[in-house]
Amino acid sequence: MTTSAGRRGIVALMTTAPVAVSVTGLTKRYRSRTAVDNVSFTVPTGSVTGLIGPNGAGKTTVMAMMLGLITPSEGEGTVLGAPIRDRARYLPRTGALIESPAFHPAVSGRDNLRSLARLAGHSITGIDDMLGIVGLSDRGGDRFGSYSLGMKQRLGIAAALLGDPELVILDEPTNGLDPQGMQEIRDLIRIISGQGRTVIVSSHLLGELEQICDWLVVLDHGGLVHLGTPESLGGTADALVVEPCAATDLDALVVVAASAGLPIDRVAETIVITLDVQSDAHRIAADLNTRAHAAGIVLSELHHRRADLESRYLTMINAAAPTEKAVR
Ligand code: ATP
């Protein structure tokens, strides 16, 4: 697990903030299968927290335990200050979209929301405003069955907002949506967060959520692999990419870089020097350029490559990162 310090002191800010959710040693076993394994994390109040992990990582199970829908095999926690096993104390202040809500296809979006509100004992006076927030003002009177997938998801989020919850939990709300639909959901999450709510949103793709999350909980195979800001996730794997003008100088360049004590990968016609978070890329690049020049090697390329968050995430969960294949 990494809990590295982020830039601009964000980590300190987030980790000292009041917490909406805190879990310790959360575990869920089904017979011989461990769906969630000894997971501990906090969710800062007011944050947009991404629960990220590949299929089967345990995201839905964690969310279901946070909502009191599944009883943990082990572990404990609090949601909005109440023990996780005491759901009556936090559920009235929590909204969720964890499975497709039971909307009636022949009934309008507006009337579906009204029915859900009445069932839950919430006021129906703000329903039209809510339809406006989720961008369905024009289509609120249309049958739910005529909605696109994105509209159905947005109506589901509206349902999660009934009762004006402090905490909103959304399980893979962008799943199956096209880029525009995903953007609409991201915009909606920003609006919900801007209203002062804590939002926990899951996805198997970090890239879908990295722009809107200020706190990440990364799961893989039921375990926690990273907890921190997006900046903390991105602080470990930048690289210098160096290429000699003449391909025949590559071996000599490797020797020069190795003599400077740098960690080197040969990748096609280049060498890649992995930088750790403390590395001064400019100093290392200047030093390497000087050494190469002294050895009679002319460089055609020397640049600082910033690995994107998605490739770091994929590396973290042992999937194939979409970067150069190293040939050592
Ligand atoms: P996805 O993105 O595919 O929805 P996820 O990260 O939400 O995945 P979970 O649905 O929480 O993952 O499942 C985690 C693991 O627990 C999986 O291996 C799943 O098969 C298993 N699992 C979940 N629910 C049950 C259950 N009721 N009985 C047995 N195994 C289960």
Q: How far is the CA of 58 from the centre of ligand 1 (A)?
A: 6
Looking at residue 2, its pLDDT comes to: 37
The residue whose C-alpha atom lies closest to atom 2 belonging to ligand 1 is 55
Q: How far is the CA of 72 from the centre of ligand 1 (A)?
A: 14
**CA 306 to CA 148: how far, in whole Å?**
37
Q: Any idea how long the chain is?
A: 328
Looking at residue 199, its pLDDT comes to: 97
Q: What are φ and ψ of residue 24, in 5° steps?
A: -135, 125
The residue whose C-alpha atom lies closest to atom 15 belonging to ligand 1 is 35
For residue 61, the ligand 1 atom closest to its alpha carbon is 11
Q: How far is the CA of 32 from the centre of ligand 1 (A)?
A: 13
**Whole-structure pTM value:** 0.75
Which token pair is 100? 């497709």
SS3 sequence, the chain? CECCCCHHHHHHHHHCCCEEEEEEEEEEEECCEEEEEEEEEEEECCCEEEEECCCCCCHHHHHHHHCCCCCCCEEEEEECCEECCCHHHCHHHEEEECCCCCCCCCCEHHHHHHHHHHHHCCCCCCHHHHHHHCCCCCCCCCEHHHCCHHHHHHHHHHHHHCCCCCEEEECCCCCCCCHHHHHHHHHHHHHHHHCCCEEEEEECCHHHHCCCCCEEEEEECCEEEEEECHHHHCCCCCEEEEEECCHHHHHHHHHHHHHCCCCEEEECCEEEEECCCCCCHHHHHHHHHHHHHHCCCCEEEEEEECCCHHHHHHHHCCCCCCCCCCEC
Q: Angle, to 10 degrees, between the axis of helix 109-120 and the axis of helix 149-161?
A: 30
Q: Which of 263, 208, 216 shows the shortest CA–CA distance to 235?
A: 216
For residue 204, the ligand 1 atom closest to its alpha carbon is 2
Looking at residue 261, its pLDDT comes to: 87
62 CB contacts (<8 Å, ≥6 apart)? 23, 26, 36, 39, 51, 219
The residue whose C-alpha atom lies closest to atom 29 belonging to ligand 1 is 30
For residue 28, the ligand 1 atom closest to its alpha carbon is 16
Q: How far is the CA of 121 from the centre of ligand 1 (A)?
A: 32
Pocket-testing residue among 36, 61, 71, ligand 1, by greatest number of atoms within 8 A of Cβ: 61
For residue 33, the ligand 1 atom closest to its alpha carbon is 30
Pocket-testing residue among 59, 66, 99, ligand 1, by greatest number of atoms within 8 A of Cβ: 59
The residue whose C-alpha atom lies closest to atom 19 belonging to ligand 1 is 56
CB atoms within 10 A of CB 276: 10
Q: Which of 64, 53, 1 shows the shortest CA–CA distance to 28?
A: 64
Looking at residue 159, its pLDDT comes to: 94
For residue 219, the ligand 1 atom closest to its alpha carbon is 6
For residue 171, the ligand 1 atom closest to its alpha carbon is 7
Q: How far is the CA of 131 from the centre of ligand 1 (A)?
A: 32
Q: Which protein residues touch ligand 1 with a CB less than 6 Å away?
A: 30, 33, 35, 53, 55-61, 204
Q: How far is the CA of 133 from the centre of ligand 1 (A)?
A: 32
The residue whose C-alpha atom lies closest to atom 8 belonging to ligand 1 is 56
86 CB contacts (<8 Å, ≥6 apart)? none
Looking at residue 308, its pLDDT comes to: 65
Give 10-residue mean pLDDT values along the chain (328 residues).
35 64 95 93 94 93 94 95 94 89 91 93 89 94 94 94 95 90 92 95 87 90 87 67 93 91 84 79 91 95 77 62 34
Q: How far is the CA of 60 from the centre of ligand 1 (A)?
A: 7
Q: Using an 8 Å Cβ cutoff, are 99 and 130 in contact?
A: no
Looking at residue 16, its pLDDT comes to: 60
